[in-house]
Structure 1
Amino acid sequence: MGYFLLFPTIFLVFPLVSGLTSSGLVQPNFSASYYAFIDNNGAFLFSRNGTFSATIFNPGAQRSFYLCVIHEESNTIIWSANRDAPITESGTVSLTPKGLTIADQDGQIRWSTPPLKSSVFALLLTDFGNLVLLDRSNASIWESFHYPTDTIVIGQHLPVGASLASAVSDDDLSSRDYRLTITISDAFLQWQGQTYWKLSEDTKAFVNANYAVEYMAMNRTGLYLFGNNESVVIQVILPPSDFRIAKLGTSGKFTVSSYTSTNWLEEFSAPYDDCRIPFICGLIGFCSYDSSSTINYKYPICSCPTGFHIRSQHKSGCLPSDGSYSLPVSCNSTNKGSWSDPSAFSYLWLGNGSGYFSNSFSQPVKYGVNVSFCKNLKLDKFQYFILALQKSNSGFGHF
């Protein structure tokens, strides 16, 4: 549902000649490419306070360009439109009365805004970094704040049901498997649907009320989950700051950082224990710490269990040392036939004391089982299991 944005009635609009940047807003019909605005490193629209820019941006060495909102002073991306569909340097961003579109050099549309309820009168970049499409009555008909990527800023709400998705890398903005998800009870970090952290259990969080959560947001004083009538459900109190971002990083770590002068200051990070992050050491990798270090939780040590070796210098994770063994195919593989035949698998012992990140947040699906039971499992419906057998005094366990 749209709402009205109040701002002065006099707009500073530059002529829409290719290569000339605009302050505040642009109007249809407008188009931009990286080459057309190369003198401004792809930036074609600035917020009126100069804090943010809308930029056709290449974050790395690849020929992948994205429409981004960037915090100018720190050169930090806070939003990207076509994160899963990059264009080349010759691609174009177009604003028409129907909305925004991003197309490659051959005209193939790579991304666009959804169908809108009214025609576009202008594209506005607010002083908070929100890219907004306005109709003739200055009502919002689409906002980038409603379609977050991996970051939120002060003034932005992340409602129940929404999520942040990590990028593959700093150079590749494509969505990875880590998610920050907001529910009516809490904020969760998840990997492929499995929880590895929740805000209410963090040592720096305070649970104020048992109300249903409506959204996550930040302000000058911290990070909050708000309920009805902006009641605080859970809060993380932070030092006062006029600008901060909350970001789900490429490694699966969630951080809140403030920016002053020329420096970022990390104020909050989760989970505190890096070894609780799934895949932090790759496939079958062991994560541990140097017990003699006073800051060991910041520097995890990756290794392989007995009977495994490191995959390669360029790939994390472990492989069986015995070349006659290979790890099962992934669940999205087309080769699914062997999964239903238990005899096709062998089992290697990983050793005592091995843990799995999800065990702290998941209940066993079956009790009173032994190793033989696990070996004879038949995955009729091609389900993917991580089996963690915990032995009890009776000699049986659960998984």
Structure 2
Amino acid sequence: MRSTAGAEGGDPVARDEYGDRRVAITGIGVVAPGDPGRKAFWELMTAGRSATRPISLFDASRFRSQIAAECDFDPIAAGLSRQQVRKWDRTTQIAMTATGEALEDSGIAGEADPLRTGAMVGTACGMTISLDSEYAVVSDEGAHWLVDQAHAAPYLYDYFVPSSMAAEIALAAEALGPVGVISSGCTSGIDVLGHAASLIEDGSADVMVAGASDAAISPITVACFDAIKATSPRNDSPETASRPFDRTRDGFVLGEGAAMLVLEEERHARRRGAHIYARVAAHASRCNAYHMTGLRSDGAEMADAIRAALDRARLDPSAVDYVNAHGSSTTQNDRHETAAYKASLGHHAYRTPVSSIKSMIGHSLGAICALEVAACALAIEHSVVPPTANLHHRDPECDLDYVPLTAREQPLSTVLSVASGFGGFQSAMILTKPN
């Protein structure tokens, strides 16, 4: 049983019928491929448009895969100062921009005790672009093994440690409570939100500003995925390259982005009249302890994470109205998670719409799951299931309802979002409609 005490001298904490503190999403901030902002993100999702294009952030002509889903992000236009642009890596720039939108959306400023407010950020790759470019400077484009640190930027240490991003988010949120970083590869975005929600549930905080950011479209990242042939080489048709569950798929499309959410103890939110998008009902994660990039075909570990999340939320599988898939657009993953849905949801899996927004915004590594949770909250808010773009020829081994091409209007009370990452990480989160 979790503690029933709130902050010393404060109001007693809210409990539902099971004795748990409930977690509400009261603010959403997004920088995603295409135009930045929560509204533009949702419009792209519901229109089924792709933001994938030839890489413009560097010369990618030497690489096998030369396409990516880039954010149309201008830091000055987004309100950052030139000093902030100089100091912050692109990963931090988009995280801070998303944080600002989330805080404004929630109206939390001045409404929360700083000692009961925390900040958590997830990232798979940290400050890749700045580390890549700074190494080129100190090594004279790789000419010298013994580098000259005298030429390094004064913020090189900040680029080296992802905790610098969490510190900046805490400063923006005036958070004096729990602050930290989660880096669990491609499940980072969902795991950080799950951890932040647990801090609220167990009484360690009333408000958490949490989410994930990755901006890793750089030569080193593209080379890494080229080496294992994980990304699509469909350079002549970038907008159709990400095609989850389609039998013609040939790899995922690298992306970038950030999503930050304001999570709040529900009675705290209602007391101040905050708008609630959804509740975070449960989170669970598993690992297959099997292979760095390989997945077991039966999807057992993902299925167990889904079952654990449903059990924790005290929900029957038949309650799930929509599944936001990992849907990376690789044959191995698409078949793995299809098997997981059948194992965890039973026959209800055949009646449940499943879709992948990676078909439109690519795979932004650690950030994508936070973007997907944001999409789930907006789906509940608007009663719309986003489509799977580019799905024209369904893989016969993927025989569920993947909402091809066109968004679908449908009331949503319970949404499942899943994530799968290199190393065998499997995570699931349940969002529910607020009363």
**Same fold, judged at TM 0.5 (above):** no
TM-score range, shorter chain: under 0.3
TM-score, normalization by structure 1: 0.21
Tell me which of the two structures has the higher relative contact order, counting C-alpha pairs closer than 8 angstroms and 6 or more residues apart.
2
Indicate the structure with greater helix content.
Answer: 2
TM-score, normalization by structure 2: 0.19
Larger Cα Rg: Structure 1 or Structure 2?
1
Indicate the structure with greater strand content.
Answer: 1
